[in-house]
Every structure is written in structure tokens, then in C-alpha cells.
Amino acid sequence: MVELQGSIAEVIYHNKENYYTIAVIENGEEQFTAVGYLPGADRGRAFRFRGIWKTHPTYGEQFSFTEYQEEMPSSQEGIEGFLSSGLLKGIGKKTAAAIVHRFGGDTFAIIEKEPHRLTEVEGIGEKKAAAVSEAFMAHKEFAEITLFFQQFGIAPPYAMKLYKVYGPDTIQAVTENPYQLVDDIFGIGFKKADKIAEKMGINKNSEYRIESGIKYALWLYVNEGHTYVPQKMFCENTAELLEVGTEQVHEILVQLAFEGEIHIENLEGRSVIFSMPYYTAEQNVCKILLSLSRSDLKPVSSDVDELIAATERETGILLSENQKYAVKASLKNGVSVITGGPGTGKTTIINTIMKILEHSGFATAIAAPTGRAAKRITETSGYEASTIHRLLEYYYSEGEDTMRFGKNSEDQLEYDAIIIDEASMIDILLMNGLLSAIKPGTRLIVVGDADQLPSVGAGNVLRDMLDSEVIYAVKLTEIFRQAKESLIVVNAHKINQGEYPDCNEKDKDFFLLRQKSEKEMLETIKSLCVKRLPEYYKGCDAVRDMQVLTPVRKGLLGSINLNKELQNVLNPPAEGQEEKVFGERIFREGDKVMQIKNNYQMEWKRLEDFTEGQGVFNGDVGYIQTIDREFNEITIVFDDNRYVRYDFSQLDEIELAYAVTVHKSQGSEFPIVIMPVSWFPPMLATRNLLYTAVTRGKRAVIIVGSENKMHAMVDNNRITDRYSGLAVRLKAFL
């Protein structure tokens, strides 16, 4: 590692959020560009940097530093520059000059040890003197803390977060128990804390470590979709993960249960462990579902059969007996589930129910887990749908520094009926939030396809409701005549039943383009997007109307590489077209992008009606309109004409979306779906993943790859069992 020193001559870029800085450093007659995380990026301040030289493809040679130490100036000119840099609020150039004129080289000692003497300078009273001293000491304190933590690989942004939480006691607090960082500091996980602890010499058998490791191991299971985990298996796996004894894990586990941080209970004859929020959510969901199903309901205004017949006359669509049964069941019961695959008439049933409820003067809400799913409901039904989060008035609580539902058990929704579509995507925490806001006597109608991939979050809500046989449910199996004409619909049902799909029939919409190697598959996908499909489907937009879906993120046919390849052919570099390099990604004006995390505070605006609001959600797809280098901003227009400005520092929230994983596509429909089928890990190359991908296509589905591998996916009916106790609880409560 190289050590260089110098003072800041010019600040090229400084991010106030994470302190990422690009600055020109001056050392005598020499200058160099330094890049790294630096909180005090003010002209004139001097530092000693440690790092390595790197060559940037665009900006040339730069000194990339990972450690730094501020060198306090000793000359009167340097002291004056430091005081007037803006670091100490209320001291401008004039006051700084007066202080240095009075105290000379002793200025810093006076500020630190005899701050009352600052009142000897004209214009500085006792209050201002105290404020200057306090700001100076805080700066010195933070500089010492930053320097201390650099040896443990904790960058300045995290050091600042630590300082905000622990104040002057930061070093002592972290040294005693570095694992508390996992709970207290966003962005520091168990693995990072464990590395810090190891460098600090913390013993592997430390209670702090095992306690934090248990919470981390439980989070890993939650991240895989489980609400609980069998205790014996958990103790063995966690002991192996932490390289400690099983008995030690069990001992701390029991201690955490007594403290109320986890819950241990006997479920179906075995001891299981819950993370407390998931135990509470599961209990609450079970209790409210049963309560709603038994509540007295507001009656519909007239005979349901007559209302169905009137709706049929109005729409010109005749319902099958099973569809009529589903409509009646949803009106008769407090809670009902309607499930079925594509082409079985779920949308027709929703529209019929809405018309009947409207006729009866019922206040009705319709919602879905994602913005794209809600938009699709609005387009197909004509009724305004929203996301569940928006329905529940999700907001950021500054006082609690967390997200909250505005509608909850204390302030419930004022509706007579609520319809939730795409329910397979709802996890247990969201279901708990939703049910808590529904008052007794409200009809809850849950619609979804239980054979699709389960929710990304923990739980298996829709499947558990069906498996319990406690909640009234109607399964739709009949494919209607118009849907039967689509091979997409027919093949989706064949795949779901373990049968191989029919491909390449004349004038149909399901195709298999056989290719053996992954390289050939990649070239075929690019050719389809650039030339073949736009020529075949006239008016088809390669970026907006086609969606490449893949089971995986990594590899030649993973979404990361596919996005790079498709960006190069669908939106290549062009003169006058701005682009921004961010890590290993390039964002270019015109790119199709996806938001990959929920950001409830992100502001948006619709230019056509000047509507403003907050919230951009995981899975929202948009297009980069402009990249503004002067203001370091990217403007993205999302599908529903929401204009959102991203600071360059926020670009980790988006990624290219020419190709997305099948999991990310849930709740969406695309005119044309293209999917590579090669060797993928068996846990991903499954029947229900293929089924989910196929059901995303509306106009055409094109499989590119091996017929044998596609058949193998159909044969692989491996559904990873989720540890979820909702079905068991519903049966037990009944």
C-alpha cells in the first residue's frame, strides 16, 4: 500500500450521503487525483492517504485510497483556512482571521482546552464560543473514531453511522460487542461484523457472537421463504456455520426465547423456532381470517342469480356453472379464495363480482401486490386498482425511522368488500398488515394462481389457505373456448399437469427454437429481439413489447450477462447519447430499467396532470429519459408515466431490465416472452418456474434451447417445501 500526502486543491465530486469523493490533491508542485470515501472534502484541508494507483478507462491514472488521516495545519495561514472551511458553523473568513490574529499557533489548543477565551475576540460571545468548541471537539472525536475503525475495514460512511448511534462512546461500544452493529447500523450484516470481531480478537465462542449468529442463521431461513425452522436441524446447521458446539447454540437459543426475541413451540409433533415477527404475523393472520369468515355480512341488494344474469346481458359474456358458483361463494362468505390457471376466467369473475357489488352500493377496493399487477387489473376490468401498500397508505415515520401502514388495527379501511388479485405473491408480513386493517363484516375475496411460484418474502399464504380446507375456496379448471385457441394457455395447463407442451404449430403462439450450445442460444435471442420478431410481428417494439425471462442471474444466459448483450444490440452507444458508468454497469439514455428495492420516499411526478407522490417499488419497470452530468441525475419514466429523478449515488437501486429473472416477472404480463432453456440448477429448473414464465406471455412465447432440457423442467416437479405454519394453525383453531 502506497502512502501519499497533500492538501485538497479542488473537489471534482463529493457525495454528501456516503462521502464518495474525487479530488485534486496538491503536494508542493505535484498534483494527483485521489478517489475514495472522505467526509471532510474541503479545499485547503491536508491529509495523509494510503491506497493504490489505478487506471480508469476514461479518466486515466487515479490514486484510490482506503485509509486517510487528517493532518492539522500548523501555519497561521493553514489554521485560518481550516477555521473558515465551513466545518465550524458561524465562523467565516473575517472571524477566522481575527481568532488566528489573537491566538496565533495556539488557536487549536485554546479552542479545545480554554474555549471561554474565544470571547476575547470581537463578535464572539459565550454561546458562540461554546458552539465553536463543541463543533471542533466533535470533528476531532469523529476523526479519531474514523482512524481507529479504518484498521478494521470500516469505511467512513459506516463510521459516521456508528458515531451518530453511540457518540463519544463509539470505540468502547464497538470494541466490547462488535455484533451489536448488526442490529444498530443499517448495511452492516453478520459476516461484516464477524470479520471486524475477528480482527479485534473476539473469541469464536463469545456469547455475543453465537447470539448474533443465531439471528443471522434464522434470517437465512426466512430469506428462503420459511416462517419457521425445525429446532434440531437449526441447531446442527448453525453450529456448523459458526464452528461451535450444538449445545452452545441450544443454550443461547433458549436464552433468546426467554428474552422474547424468538419463539419456540411444538408444531405437528416437533420443536420449531420462529423469528418473533413471523410468529406474531402467522398467529394474527390465522385469527383474523377465521374472525372475518364468521362475521355478519351486509346483504347484497337483490337475488344474486338475477344480478349475475343482468351482468351477463350487460357484458355479453356467459358464465359457466363453476364461475357462477365462485361468484356466489365470494358474496356469501366472509373470506373466500378463487384459484385457477390462465384462461379459466378469473378476470371475468372479478369483473362480475365488481358489477354486483357496485349495483348493491358496496364500497369496494381492488388491489394487488405489485404496481404492474394493479395496472393490469385496471386495464382489463375498468375498475381502478392499487397496490396493497398504497391501499394501506404506507408511509415513512420519521420519529420511528421506519415504514408504517397508515391503515391498521387502530384506523381500519372503510370498505364493504376487498378483492385481492395475484395473491400467490403475498407473503405473511404483508398479509398480516392487510388483514389488520380490515374491519369485521368486510368481505375479503382472494384471487390467484396457487401453482405459480410462491411469494419472494417468507410464507406460503395462498397455498396454506387452500391446504387448510378451512377457508372457503373454489378452484377453476375449465379452459374457455377463446383461451383454448391459444397454445400459451393450453401449454401452461399441460406443463402444470406434467405433460410436455406442443410447439411450432402453424398460426399459433408457442414456439421452440432448438439450439444446443448456450452461445448459440444467446445469439438466437439477440437475433429475435433485433430483427426476426419485429419483422414477424409488425409494429412490435423490441424494447417495450418483448421481455427476456431467465431462471438465473449469473452465467452466459443469466440476467446480468443477457442485459449487457441486449443493451449492446438494442441500445448501443451513439453520438449525443449520454451514459453513466456505475460499477460494472453502464446506464444509457433509452435503456429499459427495473427498480430492485422498495423506496417509499422516492418522489415522482406525472407531467400530464402534475400529480405528485412518493414511492417506487421493487419490480417497477421504466425507461431512462435523460442523464444529466451537471446535476448528477438520471430521470426515469416508469410505465405509468411517473417521472423520477435518481441521484448518481442511488443507482444501486436500479438495474437493466431487457432480461429479468422469472421470479422478478411475477404479477406482470408481456406481449412477447423469450426464455432460454439450458442446464440450470435443479432447484431452479422446475415445472412451476417454467409454468410461471409461460403464463407471463400474452401474444407469443418463444423457448430458445434444448427440447430435452425443457422436458426435464416439466418432469422436475420439485417444489421446495416451505416451513410455514399457517395451514396447521387454521386447522387447529377450527
Q: Are 709 and 449 contacting, i.e. CB atoms less than 8 angstroms apart?
A: no
Residue 40 burial by Cβ neighbours in a 10 Å radius (0-12, 13-18, 19+): buried
pLDDT reported for residue 483: 63
In this structure, the chain runs to a length of 734
For 453, the 3-state DSSP assignment is coil
Cell of 702: 418463444
pLDDT reported for residue 299: 87
Average pLDDT over residues 535-559: 92
CA 9 to chain CA centroid, Å, is 40
Strands ordered across the beta sheet of 228-230: 228-230, 270-275, 262-267
Q: Could you tell me which residues are beta bridge partners of residue 340?
A: 476
Strands ordered across the beta sheet of 599-605: 612-616, 599-605, 643-647, 633-638, 621-628, 592-595, 654-656
Q: Which residues of 411-433 are buried (b: 16+ CB within 10 A; e: fewer)?
A: eebebbbbbbbbbbbbbbbbbbb
User: With DSSP H G I counted as helix, E B as strand and the rest as coil, what are the percentages for the chain, rounded to 5?
Assistant: 40, 25, 35
pLDDT reported for residue 648: 86
Mean pLDDT of the chain: 88
Which residues lie below 8 Å from residue 669, measured CB to CB, with a gap of 6+? 376, 696, 697, 698
Q: How confident is the model at residue 168 (pLDDT cuts 50, 70, 90)?
A: confident
What is the identity of the amino acid at 186?
F
Cell numbers 376490468: residue: 381
Q: What is the DSSP letter of 528?
A: I
Q: Are 670 and 376 contacting, i.e. CB atoms less than 8 angstroms apart?
A: no
Average pLDDT over residues 431-448: 96
List, for residues 523-534, the tens digit of each pLDDT value: 999 999 999 999
List, for residues 281-320, the tens digit of each pLDDT value: 999 999 999 999 999 998 887 788 888 888 888 888 888 8
Confidence check: pLDDT of 543 > 80: yes
Check residues 255 and 188 and name the one with the higher pLDDT.
255
pLDDT reported for residue 477: 86
Query: Cα(669)–Cα(235) distance, rounded to whole angstroms?
Result: 42
Q: Are 241 and 212 contacting, i.e. CB atoms less than 8 angstroms apart?
A: no
Confidence check: pLDDT of 398 > 70: no
CB atoms within 10 A of CB 160: 17
pLDDT reported for residue 400: 64
Query: Cα(619)–Cα(28) distance, rounded to whole angstroms?
Result: 52
Nearest to 589, CA basis, from 601, 581, 580, 600: 580
Query: Cα(175)–Cα(444) distance, rounded to whole angstroms?
Result: 52
pLDDT reported for residue 186: 67
Cell numbers 452452545: residue: 248
pLDDT reported for residue 528: 95
List, for residues 136-145, the tens digit of each pLDDT value: 887 777 778 8
Check residues 142 and 436 and name the one with the higher pLDDT.
436
Q: How confident is the model at residue 481 (pLDDT cuts 50, 70, 90)?
A: low
Strands ordered across the beta sheet of 697-705: 510-514, 697-705, 670-677, 546-550, 659-661
Nearest to 154, CA basis, from 37, 242, 46, 69: 37
Q: What is the DSSP letter of 188?
A: -
Angle at 425 between CA 186 and CA 605, to 5 degrees: 65
Nearest to 596, CA basis, from 560, 625, 572, 567: 560
Q: Are 606 and 642 contacting, i.e. CB atoms less than 8 angstroms apart?
A: yes
Query: Cα(402)–Cα(398) distance, rounded to whole angstroms?
Result: 7
Query: Cα(727)–Cα(267) distance, rounded to whole angstroms?
Result: 11
Query: Cα(253)–Cα(242) distance, rounded to whole angstroms?
Result: 14
Cell of 471: 377457508
- The per-residue DSSP string of 620-638 comes to -EEEEEEEETTTTEEEEEE
What is the identity of the amino acid at 653?
E
Q: Which residues of 613-628 are buried (b: 16+ CB within 10 A; e: fewer)?
A: eebbbebbbbbbeebe
Instruction: For 307, list phi and psi in degrees, rounded to 5.
Output: -65, -40
List, for residues 36-75, the tens digit of each pLDDT value: 888 777 777 888 898 999 887 777 889 998 888 888 887 7
pLDDT reported for residue 478: 85
List, for residues 682-734, the tens digit of each pLDDT value: 888 999 999 999 999 999 999 999 999 999 999 998 876 789 999 999 998 76
Check residues 640 and 588 and name the one with the higher pLDDT.
588
Q: How confident is the model at residue 376 (pLDDT cuts 50, 70, 90)?
A: confident
Q: Rounded to a whole number, what is the distance in angstroms from the first to the last CA of the chain?
A: 67
Q: Are 445 and 331 contacting, i.e. CB atoms less than 8 angstroms apart?
A: no
Most confident segment among 168-172, 185-189, 417-421: 417-421
pLDDT reported for residue 277: 94
Confidence check: pLDDT of 153 > 80: no
pLDDT reported for residue 630: 80
| Strand 443-448 relative to strand 335-340, pairing | parallel
Confidence check: pLDDT of 405 > 70: yes
